[in-house]
Amino acid sequence: MRRLLPPLMMLAALSGCGLRPVYAGGGSGPVATALADVSVAPIPGKAGYFMQGALATRLTGGAGAKTRVEVELDDQITGFGIRTDQAVTRERRTLRARYRLVDATAGTVLLDATASSDAGIDVVSSEYALIAAEETALERLSGDIADQIVARLALYAQRTAPPK
């Protein structure tokens, strides 16, 4: 009996922890339906092109969506790892996004937050390879930030969903 008591107590504590799955109800649950009703406002620039595409694959709201996400990006490339001849050997690409969830009809801001991610890039002698690495990093960072934005929107949708 002494051996069974600690596991049973842990199970009892777990059942009352209050954790709930965000996507409860699957595709017809409140979070999934809320995310399906979010459109993405146009985002300028090359980084905006990648971010718009990443968000569009995750959020499927169209022209009649009740809410839209507006994103402002800050894309920076910083050189470091300087050799004795002052040549840069490594770069860090940092992408920061300030995003707002806006009620499409009233124009009120429902959520205002930021997300960021960075990647290291080796500087090589081939300029083409460096440009390709920088673009690949930008595409990957856009996907990372899109995941962060959608996760935050999902939490917002879960917290604001009407109780059952």
pLDDT band at residue 132 using 50, 70 and 90 as cut-offs: very high
Q: Which of 35-44, 48-57, 62-71, 155-164 has the lowest mean pLDDT?
A: 155-164
Q: Work out the percent of the chain whose per-residue pLDDT is above 70.
A: 81
**Helices 127-160 and 45-58, axial angle in degrees (round to 10):** 40
pLDDT band at residue 36 using 50, 70 and 90 as cut-offs: confident
pLDDT tens figures, 61-108: 777 789 999 999 999 999 887 777 878 889 999 999 999 999 988 989
The C-alpha atoms of residue 59 and residue 36 are separated, in whole angstroms, by: 6
The pLDDT score that the predictor gives to residue 164 is 60
Does position 21 have pLDDT exceeding 60, yes or no? no
Non-local (6+) Cβ contacts of 69 within 8 A are: 38, 39, 40, 41, 55, 59, 99, 100, 101, 102, 149, 153
Which residue has tokens 């406002």?
A: 41
Non-local (6+) Cβ contacts of 55 within 8 A are: 40, 69, 71, 146, 149, 150
The pLDDT score that the predictor gives to residue 125 is 85
The pLDDT score that the predictor gives to residue 26 is 58
The C-alpha atoms of residue 92 and residue 112 are separated, in whole angstroms, by: 26
Set out the domains of the chain in order of their start, with CATH numbers.
43-160 (3.30.160.150)
Does position 29 have pLDDT exceeding 80, yes or no? no
Longest CA span, the chain:
72
Question: pTM higher than 0.75 for the full model?
Answer: yes
Higher pLDDT, 51 or 9: 51
